[in-house]
Amino acid sequence: MKNRVLLLLIFACITNLNLSAQKKYTSADVFTEKKMVWYGLDFTRCKFIGQASIHGKFNKTPDYVVKHYFKDWNMIPLKEGQKYDIGKSFEKDYIYFDIDSVLARGQRYNSDSLIAFSNVYRLNTIAFPEIIKSFNGIATEGIGVIYLVESYNSIEEIATYYCIVFDVTSKNILLQEKITGRPQGGSVKTYWAGAFHEALEKNEKIYRKWKKGAMVK
């Protein structure tokens, strides 16, 4: 029994030492660090506003979109990195893609909840800290970023995201901003991928605004 207690104490000490050794990042570190962890597009609270076919002429069911496109849209920055350049949007030399958690969560989405016929759907920003704390990827430290997808609106033809930057270890939110993008393309997949592309372009300006506000050159 004494040996077991001793082992538990040793384990607790080692854990505390590891935690204390991990750097706690601040919002100022976002602009000096050259690496970032990309967690992907989180669709678990997203609504498609408009026709049940997602976008009239494309005629894809909600179930099909959840099973296929949630993953496909997350894979685009990996397959088309030059066009969908995460590093450029955040002035980073290296991006570590840690999207497995988002992919798994997306597949658990109830497709019956995907369509919203009300045009007033909004995410509750108060819930964001708890949402971020629920992500457990492979990375254990550093600066992470995720796009929470609020809505893909086929009536107003606009996608709405929340870009959230956080400390991977503590899950503390460091910066966040609402970003929109106009869709373009000839299929459901490319149509909304186009909106993400425009959002990333806007992200560059938002990052520079954050940087200026932090008075970092």
Residue 198 lies in a domain: yes
Give me the chain's average pLDDT, please.
86
d(CA 210, CA 120): 28
Number of domains in the chain: 1
Residue 92 lies in a domain: yes
d(CA 40, CA 73): 9
Beta carbons of 193 and 185 less than 8 angstroms apart: yes
pTM of the model: 0.86
Tokens of 74: 């997350």
Residue 4 lies in a domain: no
**CA max distance for the chain:** 70
Residue 12 lies in a domain: no
CA-CA-CA-CA torsion sign (161, 162, 164, 170): negative
Residue 36 lies in a domain: yes
- pLDDT tens by residue, 89-147: 999 999 999 999 999 999 999 998 898 877 889 999 999 999 999 988 899 999 999 99
What's the chain look like in SS3? CHHHHHHHHHHHHHHHHHHHHCCCCCHHHHHCCCEEEEEEEECCCCEEECCCCCCHHHCCCHHHHHHHHHHHHHHHHHHCCCCCCHHHHCCCCEEEECCHHHHHHHHCCCHHHCEECCCCCCCCHHHHHHHHHCCCCCCCCCEEEEEEEEEEECCCCEEEEEEEEEECCCCCEEEEEEEEECCCCCCHHHHHHHHHHHHHHHHHHHHHHHHHHCCCC
Beta carbons of 89 and 200 less than 8 angstroms apart: yes
Residue 10 lies in a domain: no
- pLDDT tens by residue, 179-217: 999 998 777 788 899 999 999 999 999 999 999 988 776
Residue 17 lies in a domain: no
- pLDDT tens by residue, 87-100: 999 999 999 999 99
Residue 33 lies in a domain: yes
**Range name among 35-49, 53-67, 140-154 with the lowest pLDDT average:** 53-67
